[in-house]
Amino acid sequence: MTLEYPVLRRSTATDFAAWLDAARTTGAVALIDKAEDWTSFDCVAKLRGLVKVKKVGHAGTLDPLATGLLVLCFGKATKDISQIQDADKAYDVTVRLGATTATDDRGAAEEASANVEAVDADRIVAELATFVGTIVQTPPAFAAIRHGGRRQYDLAREGKAFTPRERTVHVHGIDNVSIAWPDVSFTVRCGKGTYIRSIARDLGASLGCGGYVWSLRRTLIAPYHVDDALTIEEVQELVKALQTS
């Protein structure tokens, strides 16, 4: 995937003035390293105000507790958001075993499983391997996808009964596995629509001990990498420097 728009990234930040002009006219893309506790919409709203472009969208939601690469499109570039959303992605994740949460991450109260003992590392690695390939997932109840025309997380917060629809996704690989009970850390390389929280939940279920995402960082939306992304604060400094030059 190659988009024909200027991309604001660490390696092109010295040309910020030219990028800003494109964002306001012909369209542009920005690579943002999202901080924890920011929603994806928070980032969109902040950059919309900084750049002074009304039409801004993000190419793939990150949960508030997740960090890492968020690709924003400005102006005419928003028409190509789907191309970015369809790209392969990579995540660094830590799963905490031995408990569950309502949100499948540490954003909700932990419910410890009864009489849990540490699971053998070889068994954990073997179970992780079953998630590689084409798999069927049930998205978390607290998810941004729509169910009956409404966001699932709104239905879940209201206590409405619904059954998330299964989806078929592709996991290209699970690598760099590190185990220090009760935490399991690894890298997931996957196709579009893959829920890492579902992998954490289902891994815990298959091991019989429960599991949820403790930390999650998106490192790649092919071909863009988080190492080349800027923080919101760094973009603010670029805008400030341009205004005072």
pLDDT at 207: 96
Q: Which of 21, 33, 63, 183 is catalytic?
A: 63
Contact 93, 207 (CB under 8 A): no
Domain with CATH 3.30.2350.10 in the chain: 7-86+223-244, 89-221
CATH number given to 7-86+223-244: 3.30.2350.10
| Angle, helices 196-207/121-129, rounded to nearest 10 degrees | 130
The answer on pLDDT for 44 being more than 90 is: yes
Residues 210-234, mean pLDDT to the nearest whole number: 97
pLDDT at 112: 85
As assigned by CATH, the class of the 89-221 domain is: alpha beta
pLDDT at 2: 64
The answer on pLDDT for 148 being more than 90 is: no
Q: Is 154 a catalytic residue?
A: no
Encode pLDDT of 13-32 as tens digits: 999 999 999 999 999 999 99
Dist. CA 34–CA 216, nearest whole Å: 11
Confidence of residue 33 (pLDDT cuts 50, 70, 90): very high
Dist. CA 191–CA 207, nearest whole Å: 25
What is the gyration radius of the CA atoms in the chain, in angstroms?
19
**CA 73, 76, 77, 83 torsion: positive or negative?**
positive
pLDDT at 1: 62
The answer on pLDDT for 142 being more than 90 is: no
